[in-house]
């Protein structure tokens, strides 16, 4: 696999290799890598979509270049990797990057799907759908002396409340460092973004078709955050996956694929056959 890039092959029996003209690009969350999105990517590719998974800088073996210190800088780096037109699917921090690009009217983003995404990760006096600031401060302190331990703890929070929690945690722990450990500087920068970023004033500017998917048992980005996004992004669709935590595309893959199937435009080959 090319560093920082996971392309799903479509030259397989029953899958057309004709261009979709609007491929699908997937973005992962903090401390993880594009390989965790492979099952979803391969399911979409099997239906004829052209799919690419991108690693964030400093994750999945991708160098931490250029460094980023704010959500806007991270979004600009990802924007340079996008095709001229795409459906952008972002999970967690990847969803915040995707929402930032859509809110800034980046021309590559023609439609948007946000999975387990929040406009603000940390709770505040006017925001109830976030993690306690004290817990995020603990993350920052732990990052400096045991970041592998912090990543494992973060995985436990991701599955908490999920109906498939035990199986999902085993899967995540097996795969989390499969492509190397993330760069600690990138983890620190990403955690700073999660502490500081606030997209609530921006998402009302999103004007592309948007789907918001939330797990009703998500403890990191609660379902209320997804409901808020769906209510403030003009015309957004909203789906809540029952029994799912923070990674519904892994624990409830069939349900997520069904929702995406109803949202994504059919591939060119499928339209030609219709």
Which of 108, 218, 251, 252 is labelled catalytic? 218
Which residue in this structure is represented by tokens 């594009």?
34
Write the CB contacts of 76 (distance below 8 Å, at least 6 apart in sequence): none
Give bridge partners of residue 87 from the DSSP assignment. 24, 111
Residue 41 phi, psi dihedral angles, 5° rounding:
-60, -45
218 is an active site residue: yes
Question: Tokens representing 47?
Answer: 């239906």
| Total Cβ atoms within 10 A of residue 123 | 17
59 is an active site residue: no
111 is an active site residue: no
Helices (H) and strands (E) in the chain, counts: 11, 7
Residue 81 and residue 55 in contact, taking contact as beta carbons nearer than 8 Å:
no
Give the start-end residues of each E strand in 102-181: 109-115
Residue 49 and residue 75 in contact, taking contact as beta carbons nearer than 8 Å:
no
Write the CB contacts of 215 (distance below 8 Å, at least 6 apart in sequence): 116, 162, 223, 240, 241, 243, 244, 245, 246, 247, 248, 251, 252
Angle at 212 between CA 225 and CA 186, to 5 degrees: 70
Which of 20, 49, 55, 92 is labelled catalytic? 92
Residue 188 and residue 196 in contact, taking contact as beta carbons nearer than 8 Å:
no
Which of 49, 59, 246, 252 is labelled catalytic? 246
Residues marked active site are found at 92, 218, 246
């Amino acid at each position: 696999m090319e560093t920082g890039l996971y392309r799903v092959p479509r030259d397989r029996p029953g899958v057309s290799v004709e261009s979709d003209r609007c491929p699908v690009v997937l973005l992962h969350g903090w401390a993880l890598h594009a390989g965790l999105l492979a099952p979803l990517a391969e399911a979409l590719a099997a239906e004829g979509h052209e799919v690419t998974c991108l690693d964030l800088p400093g994750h999945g073996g991708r160098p931490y270049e250029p460094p980023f210190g704010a959500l806007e800088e991270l979004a600009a780096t990802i924007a340079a990797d996008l095709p001229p037109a795409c459906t952008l699917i972002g999970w967690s921090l990847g969803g915040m990057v995707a929402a930032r690009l859509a809110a800034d009217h980046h021309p590559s983003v023609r439609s948007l799907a946000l999975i387990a995404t929040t406009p603000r990760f940390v709770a505040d006096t006017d925001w109830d759908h976030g993690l306690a600031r004290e817990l995020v401060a603990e993350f920052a302190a732990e990052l400096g002396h045991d970041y592998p331990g912090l990543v494992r703890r973060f995985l436990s929070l991701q599955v908490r409340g999920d109906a498939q929690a035990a199986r999902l945690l085993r899967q995540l722990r097996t795969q989390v460092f499969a492509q190397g450990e993330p760069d600690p500087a990138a983890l620190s920068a990403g955690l700073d973004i999660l502490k500081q970023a606030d997209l609530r004033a921006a998402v009302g500017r999103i004007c592309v078709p948007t789907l918001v998917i939330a797990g009703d048992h998500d403890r990191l980005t609660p379902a209320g955050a997804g409901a808020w996004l769906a209510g403030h992004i003009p015309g957004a669709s909203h789906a809540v996956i029952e029994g799912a935590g923070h990674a519904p595309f892994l624990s409830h893959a069939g349900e997520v694929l069904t929702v995406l199937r109803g949202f994504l435009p059919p591939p060119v080959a499928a339209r030609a056959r219709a």
